[in-house]
Amino acid sequence: MNTKKEELRLMKYLKIEDNKGHYISQTGDWCEIDQISKDDLIYLLNKAISEDFKMDEYLEENVGHKAHQIVYKSIHEKFSGLVENKNVFKDECDSLFKAAIEKYEVADEEE
Note the residues at the interface with other proteins (CB under 8 A).
Answer: 34, 36-38, 41-42, 45, 48-49, 66-71, 73-75, 77-79, 81-82, 84-85, 88-89, 91-93, 95-97, 99-101, 103-105, 107-108, 110-111
Instruction: For the CB of residue 2, give the shortest distance to other proteins in the complex, in Å.
Output: 30
DSSP states of the chain = -HHHHHHHHTTEEEEEETTEEEEE-TTS-EEEGGG--HHHHHHHHHHHHHS--EEPPP-GGG---HHHHHHHHHHHHHHHHHHHTHHHHHHHHHHTTHHHHHHHHHHHHH-
Between 9 and 38, whose beta carbon lies closer to other proteins? 38
